[in-house]
Amino acid sequence: MSILTLLTGPVLRFSGNPFDQPWSEVVQIDTSGAVLLQDGKIAVVGQADALRQTHPTARHVAYDENHLICPGFVDAHVHYPQTAIIASWGKRLIDWLNDYTFPEEMRLADPDYAREIASRYLDLTRAQGTTTVASYCTIHPHSADALFEAAATRNQRIVAGKTCMDRNAPEGLRDTAQSAYDDSKALIERWHKKGRASYAITPRFTPTSTPDQLAALGALWAEHPDCLMQTHLSEQTDEIAWVSDLHPQARDYLDTYEGHGLLGDRALFGHAIHLEPREIDRLKETGAALVHCPTSNTFIGSGLFDMAGLSDQQMPIGLATDTGGGSSFSMLRTMAAAYEIGQLRGTPLHAAQLLWWATAGSARSLHLDDKIGTISEGYEADLTVLNLCSTSAIAQRHANATHHWDSLFATIMMGDDRAIADTWIAGSNEKPSLLVSAF
Ligand code: GUN
Ligand code: ZN
């Protein structure tokens, strides 16, 4: 017999994209709402009184008016192996990779360490209200197994792929064109569409793959077109100059992917800050998604992503922490940083837009918007419940708020894991067991 769980309280609902339509027409807060969960899915969305009457035996979890039931946060670009080096000081992209990232990724050669970090990462992010991530792994196939297994244990939806690099990376952190193809193919067969998992073919970025490796991964994607393909694009100006030295014949950075079969509507390009007009046109024509990583872009000093300009062109754009180039595991902190970058570019985003972006918007970039990111009947029961007065500083602002949006915005700007009252994954809110012994 299936278990019914009824959540009652203020519920955030979307009926459209608040970047395309006025936010007040497509994002609503139902102050006496209810969500009925059954078998890991959202069975009914309605009014608290009515659903309590029709489902009197359901387990009832009541959230008061100081809470907001939201879709679970979807983080569209992370590197789980960088969990233990998050917030490392003072470098720009290439030095940061060489000095902090590659040595740490080398440690995941040990499968036990990979498993420990995968579990630690999923527990830390669940405590931040994140219910789905799209993650890079390391070059070691077992690092992808570790994350897929940890997600399966938690019933969690996950997108991940083994990172591929066959040049400009240290000994011990390089594969080959052939082994990248073979190992990625075996992982696709093992994990893609198994339970809640999906596979993303993952060349790290142009500088760390030879043309042969890019072509091999392009061929693999052509054989498995329902996989995603994730990589980095135009993050820092030094990186772009390096790509141009490595590929003097290419029209631009994007062309180095397109020329090897790595551009299409299931492509995800992280960062995409310093784009040429031709690149924007091609991205738009092909329907590829971009992913904004605001705390990373300020932390590593990369630049200010043009959200307003690019979303006006109807491009799918995800939002992401980019852990550990990003300085936080929190999507609240990420929304705050996206707001601040919007301000620096003269386009302040509304709380309704920020919340949509961190949930339905990211889900859309991952082609999962028919499954997650929205509180709608038939969707998977991944929900994040916010406490809108989680600290005394936020509570006094909440007390002075004139409406829910005012209060939600204060939690976005000032909140952290204390603002996460509950994270529901596939209909369960079991608390994560933090790996205290790991520290
Ligand atoms: N470009 C290539 N690899 C990485 C990475 O791990 N993090 C970031 N931020 N950019 C990258
Ligand atoms: Zn990245």
Please give the domain boundaries of the chain with CATH numbers for all domains: 4-71+373-424 (2.30.40.10), 74-365 (3.20.20.140)
Ligand 1 within 6 A of CB of 239: no
Residue 430's pLDDT is what?
86
78, 235, 242, 323: which to mutate for ligand 1, most atoms within 8 A of CB?
235
Q: Please say whether the beta carbons of 320 and 293 come within 8 A.
A: yes
Beta bridge mates, 318: 291
User: Contact 153/95 with Cβ under 8 angstroms?
Assistant: no
Ligand 2 centre and the CA of 289: distance in Å?
Answer: 14
Q: Return the closest-CA partner of residue 31 out of 430, 431, 408.
A: 408
Q: Is the CB of 79 under 6 A from ligand 1?
A: yes
Q: Which residues of 123-152 are buried (b: 16+ CB within 10 A; e: fewer)?
A: bbbbbbbbbbbbbbbbbbbbbbbbbbbbbe
Decide if 372 contacts 132 (C-beta within 8 A).
yes
Largest CA distance in the chain: 69
Backbone angles phi, psi at 354, to 5 degrees: -65, -45
Residues comprising the chain, all counted: 439
Cα–Cα separations (whole angstroms), residue 312 to 20, 24, 284, 306: 8, 18, 11, 10
Tens of pLDDT, residues 64-81: 999 999 999 999 999 999
User: Cα–Cα distance between 291 and 302 in angstroms, integer?
Assistant: 14
Is the beta carbon of 77 within 6 A of some atom in ligand 1? Answer: no
Q: What are phi and psi of 391, to 5 degrees?
A: -135, 165
**CB distance 157 to ligand 1 below 6 Å:** no
Ligand 1 atom 9: residue of nearest CA: 325
Q: Which amino acid is residue 125, in one-letter code?
A: T
List of the chain residues with pLDDT < 70: 1, 432-439
Nearby residues of 130 by Cβ (< 8 Å), 6 or more positions away? 72, 73, 74, 75, 329, 331, 384, 423
| Upper half-sphere CA count for residue 262 (Cβ side, 13 Å) | 30
Whether residue 227 contacts residue 201, with contact meaning beta carbons closer than 8 Å, is answered with yes
- Residue 162's Cβ-side half-sphere holds a number of Cα atoms within 13 Å equal to 31
Answer whether 101 contacts ligand 1 (Cβ < 6 A). Answer: yes
The model's pTM: 0.97
27-38 vs 317-319, strand pairing mode: unpaired
Distance 334 CA to ligand 1 centre (A): 17
Token pair 């054989």 in the structure block, residue: 223
Phi and psi at residue 143, to the nearest 5° = -70, -30
Q: Find the helix packing angle between 331-344 and 404-414, rounded to 10°.
A: 100
Mean pLDDT of the chain: 96
Whether 132 contacts 368, CB under 8 Å: yes
Span 234-289, pLDDT tens digits: 999 999 999 999 999 999 999 999 999 999 999 999 999 999 999 999 999 999 99
CA angle 265, 269, 274 (to 5 degrees): 125
pLDDT of residue 3: 87
Q: Which of 205, 233, 327 best tests ligand 1's pocket when mutated (most atoms within 8 Å of CB)?
A: 205
